[in-house]
Structure 1
Amino acid sequence: MSGANNGPTGPQPGQPPHGPSQGRQDPQGDQSPQGSQPPRWAWWVVGIVIPVVGILVTILLSGSDSSDDKSAEPKQPATQSSASTQATAPEEPTDSPEESVAAAKVLYGPVTFEVDLTSAGSRYLDLDPTAPVVMDTDAKSRDLTVSTSQPAPTLYTPHSGNTLALLPASGSAPTEAQCAEAVAEGGAYTGKAARGSRFCLTTNKGRTAYLSVVSAPDDRGIAKFKVTVWETPAA
């Protein structure tokens, strides 16, 4: 019959009266309570704190490592540098024995003395005593003879020995060694005693002397000399 077929159809066997349960939602069953989840600001704090802690830990570890490295380095004694400097410093030059022996002692001088040449004739000089001696008569002890002549007095050595050396007019006073060398290389037996002239000579007793002419007359008058005499090397 058609009327029976068009009516509401009842539930089929095996089906629940209200249809399948998949189509229904429980508004309270699918949602979790809000109290179980942390707030958003907590994640921000955690994100800031963790890097800051990491930076602080890195700084502390670096400082401790550097201090450990410095403490581990061996400390050198303060005197090491000075000791090494003293060990490597060059020694100061000292006088050799030859130089010490060559340096002769001064017997006397420089001493200025006068020779009176107002009258004709000669005067004789003995330079070996502790001061120059001017003699009117010849003697075996003479070291030089001073004769009046023009244009200046003339000097002569005893027995015409080549023991008188003329030096350059200008220059510093020579040493004993320089004077002895000048006599050995350029000794003569005579020389003009003009003002400013300088001579080296060997005395009768083997001493070295340096004689300079302070003033000299053209013909007659007073002549002035300045002399330095050294001891003999063996004295």
Structure 2
Amino acid sequence: MTDTVGPPDPGRIPPRPVAPPYAVPGPVPASVPPPPGHPPRWAWWVIGIVVPVLGTVATVLASSGRGGTPAPAASAAPPAATSAPAATSAPVAPPTATAPQPASAAPDLSAPAGYRSQQARWGVAPPICGTGVLVDLDTGTSASFELESAGDTPSAQRSAAAELEYRPHSQGCGMSGIEPSVTELRPVTGRSVGVLRAGRPLTFEECRMAAGTGFGPVRMGGPTARERGLVRGAALCSVTERGSVAMALVEDVSDETTPTLGGRLVVWAKD
């Protein structure tokens, strides 16, 4: 089959495609603003330019400041005054006072029938090693005697008129002629002597009853003497070799380990 050349057949020419209708261009959408809290893009450009410039200026100023006179430092503002309350010292507790020993009350001088009362004073000082002291409670007088050894006792003749004996303790002396470190008070052998404790009535009957209680050797200047009642305010009571009732008040007692003793002496002597 051969093609023929001739005018085109209108029935065989394809139709021209139809162009789309013309659309009017719409408005250009505006740029979306940055979310709140974020600077715009141009701010970053400004920061990128300004920061290097400030760094350069700071370097130049620092270099010029080293060579020239340093700029005066800004005066620091004075600290704000704070009104703090004045410190108050805590109250100091007063020192604890040592409880005083009871003072001797006034003795009752009334005498029963067949007796008369009289007053004097008595006293005894600590003896030196090698000696002792005898006290006559009828008169309040004292006399010393020699001790050949720690266990020695005065002769019966020397102690015949005495009721009390004050001597160095057996462990209080190393050699004769020196002051003892410890002394002891004791009744003379065979005498009726006792302690009328502080606070008891100072009467004839109280003293006569106390004389019958008796007491052995008492180490003075320590807790033993306090436990046995030999403190200020007490009294030493005795029925003397004359039959009198003697009350030797302990009013003067020193604080040494070898104390001095003394005070008023009341004697109810037989008529």
TM-score (norm 1): 0.45
The structure that is helix-richer by fraction is 1
> TM-score normalised to the size of structure 2?
0.40
